[in-house]
Amino acid sequence: MASIFTQIVQGEIPCEKIFETDEEIAFLDIMPSAKGHTLVIPKLEVIKLEELPESLAISLMRTLQTVATAVSKAFDGIDYNLILNNGENAGQVVEHLHFHILPREKDSPAPFRNKIKYAEQEMQEVGARIRNYL
């Protein structure tokens, strides 16, 4: 069965899309640890980074850099974590390679400790704010 992320890629599940290329897609996390928490994934469904063909890994890193820059600028140059949980024992929950871009305010809690909820329509507003910097 296709991962939830593959279902997003195929348009079967909606998302707040931030950026898309032929090979990757970036979208807001539906259970964010901070406003602007964004996921960047390859469209090819692989579980671990080492399973991704080199050419797609290079492309993924370019997209990750582009989107991370936009996330930072959208929140006034905020610092951020880039997080990859590579496999189940590393904390990977969805079996589809994905990077987290996690904006970090001063004195913010360690990544993934706190969850926030977007207000109605706020996810779309945050998505538009980030896309503005692409």
pLDDT in the model for residue 113? 73
Question: pLDDT 10s digit of each residue in the chain, 134 long?
Answer: 899 999 999 999 999 999 999 999 999 999 999 999 999 999 999 999 999 999 999 999 999 999 999 999 999 999 999 999 999 999 999 999 999 999 999 888 777 677 889 999 999 999 999 999 99
Looking at residue 1, what is its pLDDT?
A: 80
Q: What predicted TM-score, i.e. pTM, was given to this entire model?
A: 0.89
Burial of 131 (0-12, 13-18, 19+ CB in 10 A): middle
What is residue 102's predicted lDDT score, i.e. its pLDDT?
Answer: 95
- Which residues are catalytic, by number? 98
- Token match 């279902």: residue? 7
User: Which tokens is 48 given?
Assistant: 């671990």
| Fold (CATH) for 4-131 | HIT family, subunit A (3.30.428)
pLDDT at 133: 94
Q: Please state the domain extents for the chain.
A: 4-131
SS3 at position 122: helix
Cβ contact 72:102 at 8 Å: no
* Angle in degrees, CA 109, 114, 120, rounded to 5: 125
| CA pair distance 58, 76, nearest whole angstrom | 28
Residue 48 has what pLDDT?
A: 98
